[in-house]
Amino acid sequence: MSQKIKTTCPYCGVGCGVIVSQDERGAVTVAGDPDHPSNYGRLCSKGSALAETLGHEGRLLSPMVDGCVSDWDEALDTAAKGFQRMVRDHGPDAVAFYVSGQLLTEDYYVANKLMKGFIGSANIDTNSRLCMSSAVVAHKRAYGADIMPCSYEDLERAKLIVLAGSNTAWCHPVLYQRMMESKRQNPDLQVIVIDPRATPTAETADLHLPIKPGSDALLFNGLLVYLEQGGERNGLFVNQATQACDEALSAAKSDAESIEHVAAGCGLSVELVERFYRLFARTERVVTLYSQGINQSSSGVDKINAIINCHLLTGRIGRPGMGPFSLTGQPNAMGGREVGGLANQLAAHMAIESAADRERVQRFWDAPAIPQKGGLKAVDLFSAIEAGKVRAVWIMATNPAVSLPDSDQVRRALAQCELVVVSDCMALTDTTAYAHVLFPASTWGERSGTVTSSERRLSRQRAFLDTPGMARPDWWIISQVAQRMGFQGQFDYRQPKDVFREHAALSGFENAGTRGFDISGLADLSDLQYESLSPTQWPLTSSTPQGTARLFGDGVFFTPDRKARFVPVTHQLPRNQADATYPLILNTGRVRDHWHTLTRTGLSPRLASHTIEPYAEIHPQDAQGFGVVQGALAQVESACGSVIVRVKVTTNQQQGSLFIPMHWNTQFAETGRVNVLLPGVVDPLSGQPEFKHGRVAIQERRFAWHGFLFSRRQLQPSGAVYWARSRGAGFWHYEIAGDSTPENWAEMARSYLCSKGHEVGWMEYTDRAANRYRAARFENNILESCLFIGPDLKLPPRDWIAALFKKHSLDATERASLLSGHAPDEKADVGKTICACHGVGEKRILEGIRIHGLNSVQAIADQLKAGSGCGSCVPEIRAMLAAS
Ligand SMILES: Nc1nc2c(c(=O)[nH]1)N[C@H]1C(S)=C(S)[C@@H](COP(=O)(O)OP(=O)(O)OC[C@H]3O[C@@H](n4cnc5c(=O)[nH]c(N)nc54)[C@H](O)[C@@H]3O)O[C@H]1N2
Ligand SMILES: Nc1nc2c(c(=O)[nH]1)N[C@H]1C(S)=C(S)[C@@H](COP(=O)(O)OP(=O)(O)OC[C@H]3O[C@@H](n4cnc5c(=O)[nH]c(N)nc54)[C@H](O)[C@@H]3O)O[C@H]1N2
Ligand code: SF4
Ligand SMILES: [Mo]
């Protein structure tokens, strides 16, 4: 009999429900929960591959102190005493926490309570600073509270969906699938994508505006003027429910003088801008979604307010099928905002600037201290660490040595910080490498609590696995440290539900409708009710026990006079502009099947095969101009650092900019860490970094030799200047390149592939003159590892080698072909993986289209199975069909 448990996907902010089944032997399968209102059974490629990421490979299984295995008592005491000493000697602001939207609400609540109420500093910030802090500020400016008014359901009820700075098809795939499904049901639904790149999302949209990077506020200011001049103002709503409309309009008018002016400023044709404006003007039911292309900007807050202004002018907010919609990235980005996990928030949507709120929270917590002002925001926090102002930091569930801008600065800061405490489930990350105290955290599958999705929907994460080793949940670790700092009474939680009930009670404490975030209806949940809690949207009070799908439909907001605010915006281009030294704009973001710093998806063969290396996308004309070619390696340089990445030449990239994914780090490709290129430029209002606009130069990076190696074991390719590793089915795949040719290839190869004193079946081929070398190592006829080196990029197809690793033994012909470097069968090379679910490669699909006449997504699914699984690759298949 198999056991079934309902929980929530740990990846993106869509918050899909999953059902986990486990058979008697412990084998886990994961399926979409048909009853969960986020996904109704759907999953994307990442969600579908969750069962592949549950192994204990690389896990941190015991506490560590100063690099040595320790026990809980020693590790907890070391951290607690260290923090106490810093507070005593240097004051509470010498201590900081840097936490994460991947913590559960219960963990987050306890961390925030310890810092703000008991250590008495507001120095707790979160990686959500990098993610949606601009949305928080914009929402507060417009609505008086950090509230996202819409529901996912609005995407099905809309007639027009505008996606601004969002690659939804890859980053919120299930929402994208829902949009595409409603488009099938309702062909009138139009989708517009605003993105400098032609992403898979843009390629399937009705209209794509390949906007000049950073110019969105101008576009939306122009839209505001167009709507006003076209008579689209909702006079009743504007008069009764808003303030400052005229100020915003006059700012927009002087900013966006004419459509021609907007078109020129945004690098778009007048015709395209007009089409967008006309569609927006004539469609009452419009939802505008925005994500990192808008938020991660030195003027992200203004951009969001420029968008919200258009919805306020037309009164398109709070009713079905319309509204401004902030897409959140992490599974619990929203939960973090609810508990007040940002340095400039208090708790439960109360304001740190308000004396009354401070007093209220202090009383509720029975806390000795409450900070009088906001704390350090992420980028400033790490500067303060380097400057020695913050002397102890506790990092939880985030990898700032990779994910913060100017990440070499972060490394310098951590290297000299007096006390670095890190809670992570993985032993070796770029950040854990700096820890004095390392706490082993339990992770998805083992932990239990709640998360909140983009649409304000609270869902349960439930444990279904035993926690390995000595790992413990984050709320427990934080409570233990708090108790050992002397705060016994207020942190004696026994279960996540104790924390949850307190959090829910605080949300309703002396609220009386003044604060939008109110889940007081859940404050008295019994243990059983918490266990069986089904997904619901806040506010959820005694008068709205079923939750709330939409807010602001009544035209009542959370400002003092209860009216929404228009915010006058003058567009500002990114502070980084290209110049002669750094002629290209650097744009960064995500790939379809990887999650952030690869600690989870990097271990899944199915997911890793979609993108195996760090790369830069560049327009063909730029590639020619800068002398870089498809498939070669290039060096990309900025004023603060440099990386080496593979070149992808594509017209999807606009001229004058590059795109490099954010995911690679020291564990997976030492020279592929894109954040060494980006300076710590932030939005002055929100502190959110400008990840989408760096300035860089690119040039060819010549190497004396190129190669690749496959091995069943993880290796250290010393001697290679460039290396990137990727997980395959049963092997690790390394792409390598080096500057100096070794005296003896065989010696180098053995140093890579052979463990010392362990001589094994070994075949090799050397052509010194041509600088070619091949070697393969066998154990009982099973291919154990192999290495291919050549003077240039002409190396055997990797998919052929990958296929050989699936075989139980290789026959003589196969061994011979390995050494000759020629695949015996051309078909063995299927190309880059497109469909992760069924492992179908690009070449197979192209062959199907060109040779076998497959002319629709359905035909390809029927014949090749590609696209018939989770559907995440359908946008790419559509693009291949369109290109043929
Ligand atoms: N596969 C995958 N999915 C994820 C994640 C992941 O790591 N992998 N992470 C999750 C998280 S935490 C987040 S925050 C979300 C992010 O989700 P998204 O915001 O959709 O993802 P990004 O790729 O960061 O950026 C989105 C787009 O912004 C565009 N852009 C850049 N500059 C501009 C500009 O000036 N104007 C406009 N209009 N667009 C611009 C980029 O070209 C890019 O296509 O994804 C979540 N989902
Ligand atoms: N260039 C560039 N940089 C970016 C971005 C970009 O678009 N471009 N986007 C930014 C954004 S939006 C985000 S959200 C960040 C994300 O960046 P990070 O938050 O740094 O990335 P993750 O790899 O998700 O880090 C999560 C860590 O938590 C650990 N972990 C997993 N589960 C648990 C748990 O239960 N408990 C504990 N204690 N640890 C756990 C994982 O092993 C991992 O080390 O990156 C930002 N950086
Ligand atoms: S869209 Fe994919 S990654 Fe996001 S929650 Fe759903 S299954 Fe998980
Ligand atoms: Mo994010």
474 and 346 within one domain: yes
Q: What is the pLDDT of residue 759?
A: 58
The two three-digit tokens of residue 688, written as one number: 């959110």
pLDDT above 80: residue 462:
yes
Domain final residue, candidates 668, 700, 732? 700
Sign of CA dihedral 857, 858, 864, 867: positive
Q: 486-539: per-residue pLDDT in tens?
A: 999 999 999 999 999 999 999 999 999 999 999 999 999 999 999 999 999 999
Residue type, 26: G
Residues in the chain: 884
Q: What is the pLDDT of residue 1?
A: 47
Per DSSP, helices labelled H in 132-234 are: 133-143, 153-157, 168-171, 173-185, 200-203, 216-229
pTM listed for this prediction: 0.96
Which residues of 63-142 form beta strands (DSSP E)?
64-65, 68-69, 95-99, 124-126
Q: What is the pLDDT of residue 147?
A: 97
Which residues of 462-559 form beta strands (DSSP E)?
536-537
The rounded Å distance from CA 432 to ligand 2 centre is 13
Report yes or no on 798 lying in a domain. yes
pLDDT above 60: residue 775:
yes
**700: which residues sit within 8 A by CB, 6+ positions away?**
626, 627, 628, 629, 632, 633, 634, 635
Give the separation between CA 326 and CA 241, rounded to whole angstroms. 21
Q: Which among 97, 100, 326 is the best mutation to test ligand 2's pocket, defined by most ligand atoms within 8 Å of the CB?
A: 100
Q: Which of 192-201, 227-236, 810-819 has the lowest mean pLDDT?
A: 810-819
How far, CA to CA in Å, does 163 sit from each of 95, 312, 863? 40, 18, 33
163 and 92 within one domain: no
Residue nearest to atom 6 of ligand 3 (CA): 16
Nearest ligand atom owner, CA of 99: 2
pLDDT above 90: residue 64:
yes
Residue nearest to atom 34 of ligand 2 (CA): 443
The rounded Å distance from CA 275 to ligand 1 centre is 25
Nearest ligand atom owner, CA of 403: 2
The two three-digit tokens of residue 233, written as one number: 């103002």
187 and 262 within one domain: yes
Q: What is the pLDDT of residue 564?
A: 98
Q: Which among 597, 663, 667, 696 is the best mutation to test ligand 2's pocket, defined by most ligand atoms within 8 Å of the CB?
A: 597
Give the separation between CA 466 and CA 445, rounded to whole angstroms. 8
| Residue range 749-770: mean pLDDT, rounded | 75
When pLDDT is cut at 50, 70 and 90, the band that residue 104 belongs to is: very high
Q: Which among 53, 132, 133, 167 is the best mutation to test ligand 1's pocket, defined by most ligand atoms within 8 Å of the CB?
A: 167
CA 158 to chain centre: 26
Give the separation between CA 176 and CA 174, rounded to whole angstroms. 5
Secondary element (H or E) of residue 820: helix 812-820
State the closest ligand 2 atom to the C-alpha of 678, by its place in the atom list counted from 1: 1
Report yes or no on 544 lying in a domain. no
When pLDDT is cut at 50, 70 and 90, the band that residue 395 belongs to is: very high
Secondary element (H or E) of residue 106: helix 105-113
Residue nearest to atom 1 of ligand 1 (CA): 592
Q: 864-876: per-residue pLDDT in tens?
A: 999 988 888 888 8
Question: Which residue has 């590639």 as its token pair?
Answer: 623
The rounded Å distance from CA 305 to ligand 1 centre is 19
The rounded Å distance from CA 31 to ligand 3 centre is 12
Q: What is the dihedral of CA 711, 716, 717, 719, to 10 degrees?
A: -160
Nearest ligand atom owner, CA of 600: 2
More confident residue, 203 or 71: 71
State the closest ligand 1 atom to the C-alpha of 333, by its place in the atom list counted from 1: 12
Residues with CB under 6 A from ligand 1: 12, 131, 164-167, 170-171, 194-197, 199, 211, 213-214, 216, 291-294, 329-330, 587, 589-590, 592, 594-596, 692
Residues with CB under 6 A from ligand 2: 100, 102, 127, 130-131, 292, 296, 329-330, 396-400, 402-403, 423-426, 429, 441, 443, 447, 474, 588-589, 596-597, 599, 662, 674-675, 678, 691
The rounded Å distance from CA 102 to ligand 2 centre is 8
State the closest ligand 2 atom to the C-alpha of 600, by its place in the atom list counted from 1: 42
The two three-digit tokens of residue 629, written as one number: 């070619």
The rounded Å distance from CA 712 to ligand 2 centre is 28
Residue type, 664: W
How far, CA to CA in Å, does 94 sit from each of 230, 274, 408? 56, 54, 22
243 and 385 within one domain: no
506 — phi, psi (to 5°)?
Answer: -65, -35
The CATH number linked to 515 is 3.40.50.740
The two three-digit tokens of residue 686, written as one number: 């929100």
Q: What is the dihedral of CA 300, 301, 303, 308, to 10 degrees?
A: 150
The rounded Å distance from CA 45 to ligand 3 centre is 8
Give the separation between CA 74 and CA 94, rounded to whole angstroms. 23
Contact 396, 111 (CB under 8 A): yes
The CATH number linked to 686 is 2.40.40.20
The rounded Å distance from CA 398 to ligand 2 centre is 4
681 and 666 within one domain: yes
The two three-digit tokens of residue 578, written as one number: 């290209």
How far, CA to CA in Å, does 460 sit from each of 9, 554, 788? 10, 30, 48
The CATH number linked to 850 is 1.10.10.1100
Residue nearest to atom 17 of ligand 2 (CA): 403
Nearest ligand atom owner, CA of 46: 3
List residues, by chain if needed, whose CB lies under 5 Å from ion ligand 4. Answer: 131, 329
The rounded Å distance from CA 105 to ligand 3 centre is 18
Secondary element (H or E) of residue 857: helix 857-864
251 and 185 within one domain: yes
First to last CA, the chain: 49
Report yes or no on 288 lying in a domain. yes
Q: Which domain holds residue 370?
A: 64-131+342-537
Domain final residue, candidates 504, 537, 570? 537
Ligand 3 pocket residue status of 222, Cβ below 6 Å: no
Q: Select from 219, 107, 687, 139 the least CA-distant residue to 454.
A: 139
Q: Which among 292, 573, 652 is the best mutation to test ligand 1's pocket, defined by most ligand atoms within 8 Å of the CB?
A: 292
Secondary element (H or E) of residue 736: strand 731-738
Q: Select from 535, 512, 128, 142 the least CA-distant residue to 318.
A: 142
Give the separation between CA 341 and CA 141, rounded to whole angstroms. 19
Q: What is the pLDDT of residue 826?
A: 59
Report yes or no on 402 lying in a domain. yes
869 and 732 within one domain: no
Residue nearest to atom 1 of ligand 3 (CA): 174
Residue nearest to atom 13 of ligand 1 (CA): 329
State the closest ligand 2 atom to the C-alpha of 599, by its place in the atom list counted from 1: 42
384 and 322 within one domain: no
Report yes or no on 841 lying in a domain. yes
Q: Which of 302-306, 652-656, 809-813 has the lowest mean pLDDT?
A: 809-813
Q: Select from 54, 52, 70 the least CA-distant residue to 62.
A: 70
Give counts: helices (H), strands (E), the chain: 31, 34
The rounded Å distance from CA 809 to ligand 2 centre is 40
Half-sphere exposure of 72 (CA within 13 A, CB side): 15
Q: Which of 32-36, 43-47, 324-328, 711-715 has the lowest mean pLDDT?
A: 711-715
State the closest ligand 1 atom to the C-alpha of 46, by its place in the atom list counted from 1: 1
Sign of CA dihedral 840, 844, 848, 850: positive
The rounded Å distance from CA 484 to ligand 1 centre is 41
Which residues of 195-312 form beta strands (DSSP E)?
207-209, 242-243, 286-290
Residue nearest to atom 6 of ligand 1 (CA): 595
Domain final residue, candidates 700, 721, 742? 700
Nearest ligand atom owner, CA of 53: 2
164 and 87 within one domain: no
How far, CA to CA in Å, does 873 sit from each of 173, 190, 331, 431, 837? 10, 21, 22, 32, 9
Q: What SS3 class is residue 30?
A: strand
Report yes or no on 548 lying in a domain. no
Contact 277, 268 (CB under 8 A): no
Q: What is the dihedral of CA 484, 490, 496, 497, to 10 degrees?
A: 160
When pLDDT is cut at 50, 70 and 90, the band that residue 748 belongs to is: confident
pLDDT above 80: residue 341:
yes
Question: Which residue has 């990779």 as its token pair?
Answer: 402
Q: In what order do the strands lie in the sheet with 772-779?
A: 722-728, 731-738, 705-711, 782-790, 772-779, 761-767
State the closest ligand 2 atom to the C-alpha of 429, by its place in the atom list counted from 1: 44
Question: Which residue has 């050397």 as its token pair?
Answer: 766
When pLDDT is cut at 50, 70 and 90, the band that residue 769 belongs to is: confident
The rounded Å distance from CA 258 to ligand 3 centre is 41
Q: Which among 6, 8, 16 is the best mutation to test ligand 3's pocket, defined by most ligand atoms within 8 Å of the CB?
A: 16
Sign of CA dihedral 500, 501, 505, 506: negative
Q: Which among 102, 177, 194, 195 is the best mutation to test ligand 1's pocket, defined by most ligand atoms within 8 Å of the CB?
A: 195
616 and 497 within one domain: no
Ligand 3 pocket residue status of 12, Cβ below 6 Å: yes
Q: 152-168: per-residue pLDDT in tens?
A: 999 999 999 999 999 99
Percent of the chain with pLDDT over 70: 99
The rounded Å distance from CA 776 to ligand 3 centre is 40
CB neighbours of residue 41 within 10 Å:
15
Ligand 3 pocket residue status of 9, Cβ below 6 Å: yes
Report yes or no on 546 lying in a domain. no
Which residues of 258-417 form beta strands (DSSP E)?
286-290, 323-326, 392-396
Q: 808-863: per-residue pLDDT in tens?
A: 888 888 888 888 888 876 566 677 888 888 888 888 899 999 999 999 999 999 99
633 and 601 within one domain: yes
**845: which residues sit within 8 A by CB, 6+ positions away?**
834, 835, 860, 864, 866, 877, 880
Give the separation between CA 801 and CA 754, rounded to whole angstroms. 19
pLDDT above 90: residue 882:
no
Q: Select from 124, 119, 79 the least CA-distant residue to 100.
A: 124
189 and 290 within one domain: yes
Report yes or no on 578 lying in a domain. no
Give the separation between CA 496 and CA 729, rounded to whole angstroms. 37
Q: What is the 3-state secondary structure (H, E, C) of 400-449?
A: HHHHCCCHHHHHHHHHHCCEEEEEECECCCCCHHHCCEEEEECCCCCCCE
pLDDT above 60: residue 757:
no
pLDDT above 50: residue 754:
yes
The rounded Å distance from CA 294 to ligand 1 centre is 9
Q: What is the pLDDT of residue 601?
A: 92
Q: Which among 14, 168, 171 is the best mutation to test ligand 1's pocket, defined by most ligand atoms within 8 Å of the CB?
A: 171
Overall number of domains in the chain: 6
Mean pLDDT, the chain, rounded, equals 95
Residue nearest to atom 11 of ligand 1 (CA): 329
Q: Which among 64, 102, 110 is the best mutation to test ligand 2's pocket, defined by most ligand atoms within 8 Å of the CB?
A: 102
Q: What is the pLDDT of residue 755?
A: 63
Q: What is the dihedral of CA 822, 826, 832, 834, to 10 degrees?
A: -160
Secondary element (H or E) of residue 725: strand 722-728
Give the separation between CA 107 and CA 475, rounded to whole angstroms. 4
The CATH number linked to 184 is 3.40.228.10
